[in-house]
Structure 1
C-alpha cells in the first residue's frame, strides 16, 4: 500500500471481501469518471500555481505529468483496487513519475471530501446535458409529426371509453408540452448541480490561500457551494432522480398509448419493423418490443428518488455515505436510452387516419354537440339537454340505430319519455351533430382540437423548443470556453516552467 493511501494509519491492507464488495466496484465506477478526475487535478494545479502555492517548476512538472496521464486514458493505466480511490491512484502515478515530493503537493488545499464530489458533479453534469439534448430531439420529432396531423380526427378516451373525439396532432403536441415541463424541471436541478465544492478541504476549509472561484471558473461551474460543510452534500442527485422519474412517467404514458393503439382492436398505428419483435410460436405476431422495453424501464423509475434519499439518510451524522449514489448513473442511462428509442419510434410509425376517423364517429362520441344544440336553439338548461341526449343514445343503442340513421323523431321521443318538451329537430340536424371532423372544427376555445388551435399549439411548442435549445447551446458554449481557458492556463504555466 502506497503512503498516499491508508498505510500510514492502518497496518493491514483491505480484506479481500471488502475489496470485492466495495473497493473494486467503487473503482470501476470511478473509471467512468476518469476524464473528470484529470480535469479537476489540472484545474487545481493551475490555481495552486497562480496563487504561488506551487513554484513555477513544480507546477510545470505536475501539469506535464497530468497531461500525459490524461492522454493515456483510463485503459492505459494499471489500476489496483488495493490502491484506493482514483484520487490515490493518480497521485501514485504522479509520484512514480515526478517524485513524491512533487506529486504529493497536488493535494494541497483539498480533500477527497471535496475533490470526489467535484468529479461527480462534472460527470453528472455531462450526463444531464446529454439527457436534455435527447429531450429536445424527441420534442422536435413530436412537433414535426404533429404538424402533419392537425386535422387527423381520432377517438378520445376517458376511463378507456369513448369521450369526445381528439386530433392526433393535438395528442402529440400534448406530449411535446409535457416534455417541455420535464426539460424545465431538469434545468432547475442543473442549476443546483452545477456548483463547485472544490476547495472545501475536509468540510472545514483550509489554511492555504486558495482561489475557489478560479477553479470553479476553469471547470465551467456557475458558482460555488459556499458553505464548506456542504461540499459533499449531494441532494441534487435526488432532485435529478425525481426529474428523471417524471420524465420516464411521460415516456411510459406515451408508450402505453401507442402500445394499445398498435393492437388489432384499435389499429390506429403500426410501428416500423425495426422496433418490433416476433413470436416463437405465433407466426402472425408483430410485437411492439421497443414500446415494451420503454415501459419496462419506466417501471423502476418511481424508486429512484426514494433509493437516493434512503442512501443519504445519515447525512446529519457527518457520515460520508453521500459520496456515491450509483442508482443515479442507472437512472441517467435508462432515461437517455428511452428518449433515444422513442424519437425514431414516433418518426417512423405509420398512422391509419381512416381507421381513426371511422371510430371517432362511430360511437356517439360527439353527443355533447347535440346537447349544446338543445341549449342554443331550444332553451334547455345544459343538465336537461344532457339528460335528453343520454336517453336518446340509450334508446338508439337498444334499437340498433346508428349515428347515420338517427332521427329527430327518436330525439323527440327521448324528451317526451322524460316529461320534457320535444325539440322538433329534423333528421339532418341530429345527424350533423355526430360528424366528428365537424365537431373538431366547432371547438373554438384556446388549446382545443380545432385545427387552427392545434396549429397554434404547435407554433408555441416550436417557440418553447427554440428557447430550450438556446439554453442548452449556451451551456455547452460556456463549458467549451472553460475548457479553452483551462488549456490556455496549462500551456502558459508549462511554457513558463
Structure 2
C-alpha cells in the first residue's frame, strides 16, 4: 500500500522546533548547497549505485528499485542549473529525495536511503568528485611536461650562465635547466598518484560510525563506482584526511610552477634579457609606453602564494576533531586548490609553448664571465698535483687580481696565473696560455662534463629520453585510471538498464490483452 503526504515533512522539522535562522541559511546552508551542486553528477551516480545494490541484495523490492532508478535517470539527464532546489529542504541529498518523493511518493522514494547515512553518502560523493578533478589536474600536468620537453629538445645545446646566489657559478645548458623541472613535475605527478590511491577508496556502507544491520554489499558498490578498494574501518568512513594529503600534493605542483615562473620572470627582465614571453601572454602599461609586462608569469606566481598555506590550513581545519568531534568532515578548500592548480598548469603550458629564447643574449652574458673558474681549477689539479683546496686559493686570487686590473678571462695568461700562485702557495704552475684559454672556454666546459645527469653532450640527450619515458608512464597511468572508471560506469549503466528492462517486460506482460479463444 502506498501513500503520498500532502505536506512533505522536512528533515529538520521532525527534530527541531524552529526553522533555520536566516543568518544560518545565508552563511551555512546556501554555500553548502552551492558547493554540493557542483558535484551534481557524482550525487546521482552514488544514488544509482546504492539503489542497484539494494535491489540486487533484496533489501528493497525490484519494483521499488526500478521506480527509484527511473527517476534518478531523469535527474541525471537534467542540467545541474535546471534541477529545482529549495534551501529549506537541506543538503543536496535531501533535495534529490524531495524530487523522488514528489514523483513516486515518500514510501517508495524514501527506501533509497536504506542502509546509509548522509555522512557516508556525502563522503562517497566527495571522493568521486575529487578523484575526477585530480585526474583533470594530472592531464594538465602531462601537457606542461610535453611543452617543457619540446623546448628542452630545441635548446639541448644552448649554453647560458648558471647561477647560485644569483651570481654566475658555471656554464649551463638551457635545455638541461628545463629538464630539471620536467623531473620535478614527474615527482609531483607521483605524489598526486599516491594521494589518488587513498582518495579512491569506497566509504559507502560505513554509514554514520559503526556500520549497519542491513546486509549491504560494499564490494558491489565499490565495483559500480570504480573505487580501487574499501575504506575498511567504518569509523574512517567520514574522515577527510585524504583531502589534506591531496591538497599537499597540489601545493607541491604549485611550488614547481612558482620556481619556474620566478626564474623566467627574472630572466625576461631587461638586465638579463635571456627569455621573453610571447606577446599573447603579456600585458602593457597605462603610463609607460615601452613596457611589455609578463602578465601570465605574474598570474602564476600570484596564484602560487596561497598554495604555501594549503596543507597547513587543511590540518588546522581538522585540529579539534579528535575521535568524536568530526563536524569538519569536508575540506572545501581543496575544490579551490584543484581549480587553481589545473588552471595554472594550463596557463603555463601556453607560456612554455610560445616562449622566446634569446640564445645570443645567453652567449653574450658568458663573455667576460669567470663562471668557468672551477674548470680552470680542475685542470690545474690534474696538471700540477696540488690539492683542490690549494688550487682554489690560486684561482680565487687570479680572479681577484684580474678584476682589479680589468682583465677579462680571455686575456688571462699563464704568467698572470703564476703570479697568483706565488702570492698564495709560493710556487709557479708554468701552464701554457693555450691550456689556460681552453680551460676557461664555456663550450669546452660543457663538452668536458661526464658525470650522469650533467650538462655534458652525452647526458642531455639521455635526460631527454628519461623525461620522455616519465611522461609516457604518467600518461599511461592516467589513461588506465580513466579506463577503469569508464568500465565501472558501463557496469553501472548495464545494471540499471537490466533492472528497468526486466520491469518493462513484466509490465508489458501484465498489460497485454488476452487472446480470444476460437
Normalised-by-shorter TM-score class:
over 0.9
Q: Which residue of 1 aligns with 2:416?
A: 410
Match of 2:104 among 95, 98, 102: 98
Deviations 1:230-278 (A, max 9, x none): 1101101110111111111110000000000000100100100111011
Aligned pair count reads: 497
Matched, 1:299 2:305: yes
Deviation at 1:68, TM superposition (A): 0.4
Measure, in 2, the Cα distance between the counterparts of 1:461 and 1:107.
49
Measure, in 2, the Cα distance between the counterparts of 1:426 and 1:396.
18
Matched, 1:86 2:88: no
Indicate the SS of the match to 1:157: strand
In our comparison, the structure showing a higher alpha carbon Rg is 2
Deviations 1:431-475 (A, max 9, x none): 222211110010000000012201101101111111111111100
Q: Which residue of 2 aligns with 1:422?
A: 428
Deviation at 1:317, TM superposition (A): 4.5
Indicate the SS of the match to 1:316: coil
1:55-454 alignment to 2 at 5 Å? Answer: 55-454=61-460
Measure, in 1, the Cα distance between the counterparts of 2:385 and 2:407.
26
Indicate the SS of the match to 1:285: coil
Unaligned runs of 5+ in 2: 1-6, 504-518
Measure, in 1, the Cα distance between the counterparts of 2:381 and 2:85.
79
Measure, in 2, the Cα distance between the counterparts of 1:368 and 1:117.
58
Measure, in 2, the Cα distance between the counterparts of 1:258 and 1:362.
23
Indicate the SS of the match to 2:411: coil
Measure, in 1, the Cα distance between the counterparts of 2:59 and 2:42.
23
Indicate the SS of the match to 2:328: helix
Deviation at 1:4, TM superposition (A): 4.9
TM (norm. structure 1) is 0.98
Query: Relative to 1, partners in 2 of residues 1:211 and 1:417: Cα closer, same or farther, differing over 3 Å?
Result: same
Measure, in 1, the Cα distance between the counterparts of 2:356 and 2:492.
49
Indicate the SS of the match to 2:410: coil
Deviations 1:175-219 (A, max 9, x none): 000001000111100000000000112111111111011011100
Please, what is the CA RMSD of the aligned residues? 1.1
TM (norm. structure 2) is 0.94
Unaligned runs of 5+ in 1: none
Q: Is the 8 A contact 2:144 2:348 kept in 1?
A: yes
Deviation at 1:426, TM superposition (A): 2.1
Deviation at 1:425, TM superposition (A): 1.6
Deviation at 1:152, TM superposition (A): 0.5
Measure, in 1, the Cα distance between the counterparts of 2:209 and 2:466.
47
